[in-house]
Amino acid sequence: MPFITTSLPDLLIFEPHVHSDERGYFFESYNQSVFEQAGLDIRWVQDNQSSSQYGVIRGLHFQVPPHAQTKLIRVLAGRILDVVIDIRKGSPTFGHSFSIELSAINKKQLLVPKGFAHGFSVLSEQAEVLYKCDTLYHKPSEQGILYADPDLAIDWTIPVNQALVSEKDKVLPLLKQLNSPFDYAAK
């Protein structure tokens, strides 16, 4: 299977099979039957794409129920450090982070289920990021956690003096201030 488990329950890396030759490459970036065979019955309803320059840090974002989103993150150009935080009450990894480099070269994707805060930093000169969502964007449901929360101690691999962060993301609350609307359901 092209799915790799991570240190956080339910968070998966999707590594598609790439067919390469002297002409270039071809791969299925998404195939519903492959996901269903892995027990993942997800109906994608929205694709989002962003372009960012080196040093941009976006996140850590999530939407609260009933508008919570599962996301499938991939990079079309450049490279990013993709970061998630488990914010599910009762999870054995609540408050733990996971990070992975996603790039146009490695073609890995990260499947981020509901109950995780998500963000990324741009490691290349430019990066184009595409992510599928299973729920439509709903501005009133948008929340987040401060990217620089000292308790999380995330190494975004961007020097502090080169970090480009939106004003909105600079004032997000700390994890310890979050009353998480998500519960962990052990399988």
Choose the catalytic residue: 30, 96, 131, 138: 131
Question: Following CA atoms 34, 40, 42, 47 in sequence, which dihedral angle do they give, to the nearest 10 degrees?
Answer: -60
Instruction: Please give the Cα distance from 129 to 38 (Å, whole number).
Output: 24
In terms of residues, how long is the chain? 187
61 as an active site residue: the answer is yes
∠ Cα 77 102 93 (to 5°):
150
At 115, list the tokens: 């109950």
Q: Please, which residues have CB within 8 angstroms of residue 61's CB and are 6 or more apart in sequence?
A: 117, 118, 119, 142, 143, 144
Integer Cα distance of 79 and 125 in angstroms: 9
Which of 61, 118, 147, 184 does the annotation list as catalytic?
Answer: 61
- Return the active site residues: 61, 131
